[in-house]
């Protein structure tokens, strides 16, 4: 990073305008490496310690939220000691620095997953108490009975804890396989696959199509797009 005028550094850090920054400097409220700063002085946040009222100014980090259509065969992680492909391998190096996956999709599942550097957003989307809905299209073997689907909808025991109610619709069905739409507000490890096995209709394909109001839409498998702030800001409320 090259050196810049202090006014620009303060403005880009999101503290105030450049004109207001000039006032702060003339009021002797800024220090660079322990010395009171002066108008026209230049510095580099990567090298110099800049204090405003004795509090260090840090570079403002741009919040990035990426929607990825994860293919089968990628793990929901930043790296893998076994050398497997990860979610971040789908992103160019210029984009993925500092990002990490929000939640998980297992190796053999596909569809919508987010990557971000926004810690608060990640917490709001993954902590059980916020109970954000996620939508899945799940192809299962055979044709589940109405009784089995009712049990699934109303909650089923997993590891001694009853799952939360889910919305389940049959999109299409024949004797060999059934396509379900499942909307749920929790995500225990391999929950959908485990329940499908319990009712006797194992999963053939699992695709997440939406995270709350964020839909995969026409985004092709293996592709990604940067979300606009208006698409995710409401999750922070």
Residues labelled catalytic: 106
How far apart, in whole angstroms, are the C-alpha atoms of residue 206 and residue 218?
Answer: 17
Q: Which two tokens stand for residue 64?
A: 């990035």
Q: Which two tokens stand for residue 31?
A: 């220090």
How far apart, in whole angstroms, are the C-alpha atoms of residue 90 and residue 75?
Answer: 11
How far apart, in whole angstroms, are the C-alpha atoms of residue 146 and residue 132?
Answer: 26
| DSSP conformational letter for 103 | S
Residue matched to tokens 């396509």? 179
Cα torsion 192, 198, 202, 206 to 10°: value is 0
Hey, CA dihedral for 14, 237, 131, 105, is it positive or negative?
negative
Residue matched to tokens 């069905």? 173
Q: Which two tokens stand for residue 45?
A: 């946040």
Give the end-to-end CA distance of the chain in Å, rounded to a whole number: 35
| DSSP conformational letter for 52 | E
């Amino acid at each position: 990073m090259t050196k810049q005028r202090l006014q620009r550094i303060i403005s880009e850090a999101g503290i105030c305008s450049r004109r207001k920054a000039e006032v702060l400097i003339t009021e002797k409220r800024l220090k660079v490496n322990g010395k009171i700063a002066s108008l026209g002085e230049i510095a580099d946040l990567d090298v110099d310690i800049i204090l405003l009222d004795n509090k260090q100014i840090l570079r403002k980090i741009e919040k990035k939220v990426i929607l990825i259509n994860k293919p089968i065969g990628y793990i929901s992680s930043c790296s893998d000691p076994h050398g497997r492909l990860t979610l971040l391998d789908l992103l160019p190096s210029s984009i993925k620095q500092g990002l990490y996956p929000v939640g998980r999709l297992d190796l053999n599942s596909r569809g919508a997953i987010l990557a971000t550097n926004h810690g608060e957003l990640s917490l709001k989307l993954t902590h059980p108490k916020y109970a954000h809905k996620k939508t899945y299209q799940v192809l299962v073997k055979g044709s589940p009975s109405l009784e089995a689907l009712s049990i699934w909808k109303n909650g089923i025991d997993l590891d001694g804890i009853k799952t939360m109610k889910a919305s389940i619709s049959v999109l299409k069905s024949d004797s060999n396989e059934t396509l379900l739409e499942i909307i749920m507000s929790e995500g225990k490890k391999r929950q959908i696959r485990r329940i499908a096995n319990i009712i006797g209709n194992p999963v053939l394909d699992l695709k997440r199509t939406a995270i709350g109001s964020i839909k995969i839409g026409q985004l092709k498998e293996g592709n990604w797009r940067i979300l606009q702030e208006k698409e995710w800001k409401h999750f922070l409320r």
